[in-house]
Amino acid sequence: MTSALVVIDVQNEYVTGGLPIVHPPVEGSLERIGAAIDAANAAGLPVVLVRHTETDPTAGIFVSGSPAWQLHESVASRPHVAVVDKTLPGSFTGTELESLLSDRGVDHVVIVGYMTHMCVDTTTRQAMHLGLDVTVLDDATGTIDVSDDLPAALVHRVELGVLGDGFATVSSTSDWVAGLA
């Protein structure tokens, strides 16, 4: 199996911008995302950073070129093979991600990043539909409160439960890293 790490939307918008990640706490998830990138690089796995890009300057969030749109330093400063810009929740829609992975013979993607219930979910399902094996690192993803009766911790837990029921293997970062050794 040839694996790649796909790091979704680890952008300032989710750390210091308008959509701060609530669960798991963003500092902890950033630390684990960094650990996953370091482990992937040490194992010789390609690391692909995905960035949500809004081209409409009046959109308010993820506006191309804005400080909030920038990749967070914790991922941007680490080695990676590519940055893929997307405009929709799915990292494969309208992007070169599929061909980038195919050109490297990748048949398994490990997914980390934000938001669990939106872009992580959509990308996981797309990858599975493309015939890729998928692993989602549960503690290296995160989300926001959707509403008063859908707090982030509940959304995160339910979403990972759904993804683990036929779309992906759900693992902790430490277990995945240990499996690389």
Residue of 38, 119, 145, 148 marked active site: 119
Any catalytic annotation for residue 86?
yes
Residue of 56, 86, 103, 175 marked active site: 86
Any catalytic annotation for residue 119?
yes
Q: Three-state DSSP class for 115?
A: coil
Nearest to 109 by CA among 155, 45, 162, 52: 45
Q: Residue written as tokens 């893929």?
A: 84
Any catalytic annotation for residue 9?
yes
CA distances to 44, 102, 133, 140 from 1, rounded to whole Å, are 13, 13, 9, 22
Q: Residue written as tokens 């706490």?
A: 25
The rounded distance, in Å, linking the Cα atoms of 12 and 41 is 23
Q: Residue written as tokens 């911790």?
A: 153
Catalytic residue list:
9, 86, 119
